[in-house]
Each structure stands twice: as structure tokens, then as C-alpha cells.
Amino acid sequence: MLRLAKVGKRDVLYDLGSGRGLVVRLAAAEFSTKKAIGVEVEKDAHERARRIALRQLSKGKLRKVDFWYRNFDDRDIDHSDATVVYNSLEENEWEISFYKKAFRRKRLRVIKKDLPFVSYEPTAISSENRSCWFFAMRFPLTKIRSPEKWASIVLGKPNAEMKDVYRYYLRQVRRRNIKRSEDSIKHLRRLVAIRF
Ligand SMILES: C[S@@+](CC[C@H](N)C(=O)[O-])C[C@H]1O[C@@H](n2cnc3c(N)ncnc32)[C@H](O)[C@@H]1O
């Protein structure tokens, strides 16, 4: 998944909503990132991420990771050194403008799980075990005007429609046992209505 955004040793990666820190550890251990930072709002997950990293990473790699117990959109966080952001959460209405303001980098790359930013073109798509899809994007983003064209790109199928995207997305959220999967679909529909 990090290969998708060509993550490498010059990158500073932020995982926004980093859970137990798997992506942060992966970035440091296998992609030799200059720095990898996990921002996590739940204390237990944050502490667990730190403990696992201490156990699993070498001293050298540990110097290149950090875990912040924070809400990732807190205004006073300075992420301006980021070159790559991974965010596996569902897209917020304000997410794109947040990246523009908070990261202040023209060429920031963002990796999202399940869907690219609604109505924007991904630069690369990959799947792990055919059930989990990742989308890379690069600022400045390329807007897609037609929902059908966006649906076809997202699903990798010509002539796809938005109803196919909703079906695919419902499958993804159910697979992960997200209890209120209908809310996720409602949220996606709202975003689609705003953007197209
Ligand atoms: C599904 S986990 C993903 C973990 C990791 N990114 C991965 O893909 O392996 C999502 C995490 O995001 C955290 N989260 C949700 N909203 C957040 C916010 N506003 N700021 C920081 N963390 C947040 C949750 O507490 C949860 O641990």
C-alpha cells in the first residue's frame, strides 16, 4: 500500500488515525522513511502502538518514529513537514481543505483506504488480497466532473455507475463490522451530492 505512493527514504509520513501503529512501523522498517508519525485519539491504541514499536523496532528505527496522542485535526499541530499522509478513515467534508491548510505542501501525497477523495482522480490504485483497496492521490488534485467516469475509475470497470460504488462501499464497511454501515452510505451519498 505504501508502494502505491512510492514512499521512500526522503519521506515524512503521517498516519492520521494510526490505531496500533502498523503503518508507522511498516514505513520505518520496510520503507526506511526519514520520519513516520502516528496520530491517534484513543489513549489505549496510542499506548499500545508505542509499546509494540518499542518491542519490534531497532533503536535506529525507533528514532525515526513518533506517536502522538492527539486528534489529528487539532489546529495547533504542525504537520507541515509531511510529504505523505495515510488516512484510512472515511472522508470528511472538510478533509481536502484541511490538507491544503495544515500541510501547506503543493505536492503532498495522500493514501486513502476504500475510496479516493470523492470526485477526484487517484494517481494509483492497489488492492491487498482483493478485498482491501487503496487509492493514492497527489496535490494539486485532479477533479472529475462526471459521477459515472469517477465510478468507472474507482471500480476499474468501464460503464460503472454510482449505484455500483455504493454497493462496493457497503460491502467494504460490512466486511469490517462497522456497525452503522447505513450511516457510512448516507455520508458517502451526501459527499457525492455536494461534489458533483
Ligand atoms: C481503523 S483504525 C486504523 C489504524 C491504522 N491507520 C491502520 O490502517 O492500520 C482508525 C483509527 O483512527 C482513530 N481516529 C479516528 N478519528 C481520529 C482523529 N480525529 N484523530 C486521531 N485519531 C483518530 C481511531 O481511534 C482508530 O484507532
CA–CA dist 193, 135 (Å, integer): 21
Instruction: Name the DSSP letter for residue 113.
Output: E
CA–CA dist 20, 51 (Å, integer): 9
Task: Ligand 1 pocket test: pick from 2, 13, 14, 16 the residue with the most ligand atoms within 8 Å of its Cβ.
Answer: 16
CA–CA dist 24, 1 (Å, integer): 12
Q: Which domains does the chain have, with CATH numbers?
A: 3-143 (3.40.50.150), 144-196 (no CATH)
Where residue 178 falls among pLDDT bands split at 50, 70, 90? low
Whose alpha carbon is nearest atom 27 of ligand 1? Answer: 19
Where residue 191 falls among pLDDT bands split at 50, 70, 90? very high
CA–CA dist 193, 172 (Å, integer): 21
For residue 140, the number of C-alpha atoms closer than 13 Å in the C-beta half-sphere is 1
Burial classification of residue 49, based on how many CB atoms lie within 10 Å of its CB (0-12 exposed, 13-18 middle, 19 or more buried): buried
pLDDT score of 105 more than 80: no
Residue 71 alpha carbon, nearest atom of ligand 1: 20
| Residue 58 alpha carbon to ligand 1 centre in Å | 25
Which of the residue ranges 55-59, 72-76, 171-175 has the most confident prediction, judged by mean pLDDT? Answer: 55-59
Give the list of residues 6+ apart from residue 165 with CB closer than 8 angstroms, or none.
115, 150, 151, 154, 155, 188
Whose alpha carbon is nearest atom 19 of ligand 1? Answer: 71
Find out whether 113 and 133 touch, Cβ atoms under 8 Å: yes
112-147 confidence digits (pLDDT tens): 999 999 999 999 999 877 789 999 999 999 999 999
